[in-house]
Amino acid sequence: MTTTTQSKPAKPQDSRGLAGQTAGDTAICSVNQTQLIYRGYEIADLAANATFEQVAYLLLHGDKPNEQQLKDFKSELAAMREVDPGILEVIGKIAQSESGKDDVHPMSILRTGVSLISHVDPETEDNSPEAGLRKSKRLLAKIPTIIGHMQMARDGKTPVKPDANLDHAANLLWCISGEKPSEMAAKVMDVSLILYAEHDFNASTFTARVIASTETDMHSAVCGAIGALKGPLHGGANEKAMEMLSEIDEFINAGKGNVQDFMDNAFATKRKLMGFGHRVYKNGDHRAGILREWGLKFANEVNPDTKKWFDLGDEVQKIMLEQKKIHPNVDFPCGMTYFAMGIPVPQYTPIFVASRITGWCAHIMEQHADNRIIRPLAQYVGPELRSWND
């Protein structure tokens, strides 16, 4: 007699958070286990050979710029950097207040800034492709000015005006600090902006597309995206990663144990360790190694005292990989890199916006160009039908 063994039914996939679901088509970016591609160009190729302005043009226009197109694009952006003085005054007052310094996150101030500039943009309500491209450029140009004004106000310093002679990355650093960055600092920031510019239907981009699908304006969609990026499970992870490293350093200096002791306690208490793991990249984030290499180069050549953070990070990374088989994502080296550059930790995520605005705007324009309102269904798990009078 022949017997058969009945196999156990496959465990149903956890689809919460739309895990494993395809939510739409895009020609902007492809993310998979082995590659991150912007409009046909792989991220390592772009990080090694392109500038952020070239990548921004690529994302917004769809093609690599030629020499004249890049020159014109950079000139346009430089001419658009100024922000209405009344708006900057509001930003400064929020940032200078006691609550602004201690309780109001810079991402919330930046969100307010984008909302305010929508009121003085002459094309706010125009969703045509031509107006969308112009608004995208204005947002890209003005966001570093808002970030810089906010930080200088928080520091009690007189804000500086954007410098038309500096590229996007260098101007961003100038606006934040009031000091002209070194060539190395500008290069490292430029690479980080390339790495952060786009990442298909991540939480903030999907938020922007959902909002844009109602046929509302670009600024509204960007404000929603900023709100999504602020969360520690998304853009805010780079801040939390650096805060965690600082906590480990304090743990060691207080004589409580070593890195392994800290990690063992974190594992035992099921603490979420920021800067590790990714929904898509199960074998490692392609961007993390690139940014770590540049961050370590900066530390070694410009600020050797900060190399200790990379050594500490390497220990944490080794333990996570050996004991949990989890790789770091780009936010982990970002925290160390920006810290080595002297950037205030609360500004890490706003800097993310200064880059990702290109991807967001590209997606908003793509959504507006071939729109259908995004309205998924929900699986109801509440009570069965019942009568109010029972």
- Identify the pLDDT of residue 32: 83
pLDDT at residue 58 is higher than 90: yes
Inform me whether the pLDDT recorded for 8 exceeds 70: no
pLDDT value of position 1: 44
Residues of the chain with pLDDT > 70, as a percent, come to 91
Say what the pLDDT of residue 20 is: 62
pLDDT per residue as tens digits for the range 62-111: 999 999 999 999 999 999 999 999 999 999 999 987 655 667 899 999 99
* pLDDT above 60: residue 9: no
Pair 292, 333: CB distance under 8 Å: yes
Identify the pLDDT of residue 2.
Answer: 45
Q: Is the pLDDT of residue 24 over 80?
A: no
pLDDT tops 70 at residue 318: yes
Q: Is the pLDDT of residue 22 over 70?
A: no
* 3-state SS class at 19: coil
User: Residue 166 has which token pair?
Assistant: 């500096």
CA distance 256 to 246: 14
What is this structure's pTM? 0.90
| Residue (of 63, 54, 55) closest to 27 by Cα position | 63
* Active site amino acids: 234, 278, 331
* Residues 6+ positions from 2 with CB-CB distance below 8 Å: none
Architecture of the domain whose range is 237-340: Orthogonal Bundle (1.10)
Angle at 84 between CA 79 and CA 86, to 5 degrees: 165
How much is the pLDDT for 237?
84
